[in-house]
Structure formats: structure tokens, C-alpha cells
Amino acid sequence: MGIPAYWRTRTQRYALVGEVCHKCGAKIFPPRDVCPECTRPASDPFTFSGRGEVYSFSTIYQPPEGFEEFAPYTVALVKLEEGPLVTAQLTDVDPAEVHIGMPVEMVTRKLREEGEDGQIIYGYKFRPLLRNTLTPRPSGQAA
Amino acid sequence: MRDVSIIGFGQTPVGEHWELSLRHIAAQAVLAAMQDAGIDRADALYVGNMIASETSGQHHLGALVADFVGLRGIEAFRVEAACASGAAALRAGYLAVASGAADLVIVVGLEKMTDAIGNSITTALAEAADADYETPHGLSFVSINALLMRRYMYEFGVRHEDFAGFAITAHQNAVNNPYAMFRRPITKEEFVQARMIADPINLLDSSPVADGAAAVVLCPTDQARSFSEYPVHIRACEVGTDSLALHDRRDPLFLEAAYISVQKAYARAGVTPADIDLFELHDAFTIMAALSLEAAGFARRGEGVRLAMDGAIALNGRIPISTMGGLKGRGHPVGATGVYQVIEVAQQVTGRAGANQVPNARLGMAQNIGGSGATVITTILEA
């Protein structure tokens, strides 16, 4: 991914901003401008709570270029509480403790560095939900 | 639409061809196919290829291959649909002949993966996935399939070792295929203990990176007998699509695009799953074999893996798969695979599959899957 592409997707990557369909109410992430449920235009921004649960996960031992320093690392499909699935890394967790259904929350972390002089890419990852310290937020507020 | 038949084919052995370049490997397959069909000309040539620009720094493959096989001047271009590029090129050739736009068409699936160094092949293969929302998070293509496999095991209560039959059958059948990469059997113990790539997918769940090229020649069915003793009628070649990313699918464990392409293919050919004598499915990973069997109507949801446990997929079973080794045993030169599959079905339905002949094979099906199921092309062939 090049610098312009990272810049274009910064809002959704930093804060899980997707869309809501004003026709059928579907919550959409990643944003796509056409509602996948009713195929109407959908461009009203919607900020997801960042809470969800692990739908599936995998620990990667043979990483793509640029992710070698992190291997092994665990990636997941996270089912957000508003409905959509999102693809992301898990963080702050022992891979052996990850299980399907595990409650998780979004955090912002470094995704990769593009060489010594290159950009540092930040984005969402998900960590186990910190039950004791979490203050409930109204749905739709930024995480 | 005119009926279309295959009147010749050629293939290079799948493997690591360090001595051959992209263009040489393509020429070997095309020239062998032209010789098999007894032709020295063609109206068009379509190249199925996924990642030559990353592995060989080469786009513009249509003109390159046409020139290199002595067909400079004809219509030629590349067709791309990730790992389904080979069958996508076949679809282009099929449409050209069926429409009457061309009478003699060459289709070649082509991939030269060993020219890529280090992890760059992992990166290149991941381009089949969503470049904005999957790969920036460090997902390899294997890990995307692993997400499917983990969820499948969870939802349907199966173990990793239950998938062993897919890999064991593929390797067993590859032993007798001179074009296969791995001509040796594997044991269940080896399967269980293989090195982990992306948990729960291990090395023996996975098809190998390889070089290969495979080509077929197409013409109208009513002219096929004048070219070949063994013409093979393309009863259907149909495409379905889905979202690139797993997270955009309604039910990631159901291959919607496979279902769409298979239903279209059954309808066009006027057949049902019960009529299919063998199925060359896209076993890039063992989980894909299970999901493909389900989407094609050979097993109910969650029960595809059972066919690997009860012998149904063996050469003499209810629905033989990977009869010449599949992607696992023959090897998976990504953009070439779809054409290898079609050649293997053609061999079966004309009774030329040698030691791996499926008894009384009349109607065979091939299914080529691009990405984690975003493009699926199903072809039904009959002698």
C-alpha cells in the first residue's frame, strides 16, 4: 500500500468509521458507498463502538513482506457488536488464549514500518476486552 | 451460441523450472497443444496469468506468447482473475468460439512462480485479497483460508486431522501423473505433524508454489472431429463472483460464487450433481475442497469434510476428486491451474487417464477458484 492509499483510508483505519444506510439502516464497514444489503447509495458516516468478539483467528508463521519482525502474530475476523465482520490483528494477548467468541475491543497500534526511512503505518487492532476498566459508551461514539 | 469443443492440449510438468523463462514455459505448452490438435495457425490466443508482473516483471503476455509461438499478428491478450485466471482465459476462448467471432482459439494458463525471491511470492499471492482492508493488516493468503478452516472446525465440530483425506488422496493420485510435482504418497501421521504455516493450516494442507503452463485448443463442435480423434465437448463454462474480502460476505463458510457458477453450469448443461462422474475441484487448501464440495451440491453444509473420511472422493468412490493429483499433488502454478484442471477432466472423459482412470467417466467437472472464493469458474466436459 502506498502513501496516498494509507492517507485515503486513515479515518476508517484510525477510528473504525464506516457508513450507515439511511434506507435500510445497515451498518457498513469497511465503507463502500453502496449498501450491500439493499444496494442503495449509503454514504452517511457511522463510527463503530470498537467492541466485538472473535469470529475466527489464525496465527501466522510465514508472513508477507514487511511483517517479518512481528511473526508469529495472530489475525482475526472480529464480529463487531453492530453487525459487520472486520479483518484485523489481535494484540496484547497470548495466542494460546485466543478463542472464538472472545470479547475484544479496538485499539490503535503500529501496523508496520516501511523501512528505516519510510512511513510508520498505524491502524486498528483488537485486544481482549478490559472488563474492569471499561466505561460503557453510547453506541455510535468514537472508541 | 455455437457448441465448443477442445481438440488438443499440451502441458509442461508442474515443478521448479529454473532453466525456463516465462515465455519458454508458455511456448512449450502452446506448441504441444498445437501439435496435438494438428494446427499451425489460430484466430486468437488468450493467456490466463495472475502474477507475472510481480514474479517476472512482465505484463503484456498476449502479444509476447503469440509472437513466441510463431503466431505474431493474431488477436491475443491476458485474462486475470487471481487463481481463477486459467479458467477465466478458457471462458474468454469459449465465448470467442461460441459467438462465431473465432473458429480456432488457443487458451494457455501460465505461471512462473520460482522467479520470485523470498517472501515476495507470499506478498504477490495476497494481491488476490482486499488490498485496502485485508493485506495491510498483515494477512497472508494462507491465513485468510486459515480463518475459514478455524471457523469451519468450530461450527461443525471437526478436527484438523479430519481433513487429512483430501491431501492423502491428492498425493496418492499424483503418483501416476507424469506432469505432477509431488509423485509420492503421504501418510496421515505426516499430515498431522507437518510444519504450521498459518494455524490451523499446515504445509500438507497447502498446495505448493510452482511453475507451469497448460494449453488447450478450441473450435466449434461441428468441426472438432476433423481435428481430433478425442474431441471433448464443453457443455458449460460459467462464472460467479463474490466480495474479495471474507469480512464482506454474508456467510464466509458458504462459497456463494461457487454456488452461482455451479448452478449456472448445471443449468446450461442440463445436468445435476448426480450426473457428474468426477470433479477436479480447487484444493489449494484442504478447507477449500470441503467448501467446494458443499457449494457444488455433493455434500450438505458442514459435511464436505466427511467425504474425505469415508472414501467417497477416491477414484472408485461416489465423487472422485483430484484424480490426477489436484492442486495439492500436481502443484498449483496459480494462473495455469484452471487449464491443467480442464486437461485432466478431458483425459478422464476420453478414457485416457491411464492408471488413474475413473471407471466409465463420461461427464466431468472442473472448478477454478480465485482468491478466497471471489471468482469461481465451473466447467463441465463430455467426450
Q: What is the pLDDT of residues B341-352, one digit of tens each?
A: 999 999 999 999
Q: Is A119 on the interface with B (CB under 8 A)?
A: no
Q: Is A126 on the interface with B (CB under 8 A)?
A: no
Q: State pLDDT tens for residues B124-140.
A: 999 999 999 999 999 99
Task: For residue B131, give the nearest of A1, A56, A88 by CB distance.
Answer: A1
Among candidate residues B160, B171, B282, B332, the one labeled active-site is B332
Q: Tell me the pairing of strands B105-112 and A44-47.
A: unpaired
How confident is the model at residue B359, as a pLDDT?
96
Q: Chain-wide mean pLDDT for chain B? A: 97
Region B11-38: mean pLDDT is 98
Percent of chain A with pLDDT over 70: 91
Q: Tell me the pairing of strands A27-28 and A73-80.
A: unpaired
Assess contact for B100 and B5: CB atoms under 8 A: no
CA atoms of B131 and B120, how far apart (whole Å): 15
Indicate the DSSP class of residue A41.
Answer: B
Region A1-5: mean pLDDT is 83
Percent of chain B with pLDDT over 70: 100
Region A118-142: mean pLDDT is 75
Task: For residue B147, give the nearest of A5, A56, A65 by CB distance.
Answer: A56
User: Dihedral sign, CA of B372, B377, B382, B383?
Assistant: negative
Annotation marks residue B83 as catalytic: yes
How confident is the model at residue A136, as a pLDDT?
57
Partnered with residue A109 across adjacent β-strands are A123
CA atoms of B85 and B87, how far apart (whole Å): 6
Nearest CA in chain B to A58: B199
Region B173-177: mean pLDDT is 98
Tell me the pTM.
0.96
Region A94-98: mean pLDDT is 95
Q: Find where cell 463502500 sits.
A: A32
In angstroms, what CA-CA distances link B221 with B38, B118, B276, B378?
16, 46, 21, 19
pLDDT surpassing 90 at residue B96: yes
pLDDT band at A115, cuts 50/70/90? confident
Q: Chain-wide mean pLDDT for chain A? A: 90
H/E/C letters for each residue in chain B?
CCCEEEEEEEECCCECCCCCCHHHHHHHHHHHHHHHHCCCCCCEEEEECCCHHHHCCCCCHHHHHHHHCCCCCCEEEEECECECHHHHHHHHHHHHHHHCCCCCEEEEEEEEHHHCCCCHHHHHHHHHCCCCCCHHHCCCHHHHHHHHHHHHHHHHCCCHHHHHHHHHHHHHHHCCCCCCCCCCCCCHHHHHHCCEEECCEEHHHECCCCEEEEEEEEEEHHHHCCCCCCCEEEEEEEEEECCCCHHHCCCCCCCHHHHHHHHHHHHHHCCCHHHCCEEECCCCEHHHHHHHHHHCCCCCCCCHHHHHCCCCCCCCCCCCECCCCHHHHHCCCHHHHHHHHHHHHHHHHCCCCHHHCCCCCCEEEEEEEECCCCEEEEEEEEC
A36 chain-B contacts, CB cut-off 8 A: 243, 248
Task: For residue A87, give the nearest of B122, B150, B247 by CB distance.
Answer: B247
pLDDT band at A143, cuts 50/70/90? very low
Assess contact for B44 and B106: CB atoms under 8 A: yes
CA atoms of B163 and B172, how far apart (whole Å): 15
Q: Is A90 on the interface with B (CB under 8 A)?
A: no
CA atoms of B261 and B38, how far apart (whole Å): 32
Q: Is A111 on the interface with B (CB under 8 A)?
A: yes
**ipTM value > 0.90:** yes
How confident is the model at residue A137, as a pLDDT?
56
Q: State pLDDT tens for residues B49-73.
A: 999 999 999 999 999 999 999 999 9
Q: Is A31 on the interface with B (CB under 8 A)?
A: no
Nine cell digits for residue B97: 468460439
- Using the beta-carbon criterion (under 8 Å), do B134 and A87 form an inter-chain contact? yes
Annotation marks residue B332 as catalytic: yes
Among candidate residues B17, B83, B219, B237, the one labeled active-site is B83
Assess contact for B174 and B210: CB atoms under 8 A: no
- Residue B6 CB partners (closer than 8 Å, separation 6+): B216, B217, B218, B231, B232, B234, B342, B346, B381
Most A CBs within 10 Å: which of B139, B246, B253, as the mutation test of the A interface? B139
For B358, list phi and psi in degrees, rounded to 5: -80, 125
Q: State pLDDT tens for residues B203-252.
A: 999 999 999 999 999 999 999 999 999 999 999 999 999 999 999 999 99
Percent of chain B with pLDDT over 90: 98
For B161, list phi and psi in degrees, rounded to 5: -65, -20
A73 chain-B contacts, CB cut-off 8 A: 138
